Amino acid sequence: QVQLVESGGGVVQPGGSLRLSCTVSGFTFTNLGMHWVRQAPGKGLEWVSSIQHDGLYQWYSKSVKGRFTISRAVSRNTLYLDMNTLRPEDTAVYYCAKDREYNRRIFDYWGQGTLVTVSP
């Protein structure tokens, strides 16, 4: 069955860095785009970043562009989000999600989420 498992969250000081991982199984990783979506405490869903099925193209929200980098390691079936210059407003649960269909940006399976807290 399809599984997505995030890891790497934690507490970090403002200006710090963190790498999130999302290890997947149960589907062909190279066939589908992958995404990161976050949710600040008590708030709604916010799209963060996407990567095309082949890794050739990446997209970012304005709020993270230039600070976050999305990537994928095919041999490890793992999606990454490298987060630099973190700000308190980046505090959120970060979810990875997979495309339902080839690059359609429909999120049919999600991980359980990993909490990132940016605090002095």
Judged by the rule CB under 8 A, the positions of this chain that interact with another protein are 35, 37, 44-47, 50, 59, 61-62, 95, 100, 104-108, 110-113
CB of 87 to another protein, least distance (A): 18
In the 8-state DSSP scheme, what is residue 74?
Answer: G
Q: Which residues, 6 or more positions from 65, have their beta carbon under 8 angstroms from its beta carbon?
A: none
Looking at the Cβ atoms of 17 and 39, the one nearer to another protein is: 39
**Per-position b or e across 77-92, b if 16+ CB within 10 A of its CB:** bbbbbebeebeeebbb
CB of 7 to another protein, least distance (A): 15
CB of 65 to another protein, least distance (A): 10
